[in-house]
Amino acid sequence: MKRTSAGLLAVLALLGGAVGFALDQLLTASGRATFTPSLLLPVLLVLIAAAALGVAWPVRRSVRSGVRIDPFRALRAATLARASSLLGAIMAGFGAGLLVFLLTRPIDPPIGSTVAMAALIGSAIVLVIAALVAEQFCTLPKDPDDSEPRDRAPEPGGGH
């Protein structure tokens, strides 16, 4: 499994920002109030970050101690970490898009909305960082069997 690239995270954040900006634009164009995320959303993102680190920590501990761990357990932890980093990038971009829309309006935005969006962006960045650390925790050392070249099997039907 390849590591999560910074480029992919940046693209997802930009797409999330575009969606957040467009959503608020459409809401205000139709005469509705702008979207304000709940203050529980940042709490949820931080809990997901803690869960990703919590699932990856036993993998790190077993790698450091030299105790063999089930590779599927490490793969599950790495998959959770990768999904969390992607979600964090999308949510950070979405919150930034909402915030940019509010700050570009001619009227001053409500403090509650600004705080909610700043909390969303901050917790999403915490999620991305925690998920990348958890992904690092799930890096297993190469198996000694994998480093030795295997004898090539003869090609079927090949011959003289």
Give pLDDT, residue 23: 96
- In the chain, the N- to C-terminal Cα span, in Å, equals 40
Give pLDDT, residue 19: 97
CB 140 within 8 A of CB 67: no
Q: Pick out the chain residues at pLDDT < 50.
A: none
Indicate whether this model's pTM tops 0.95.
Answer: no
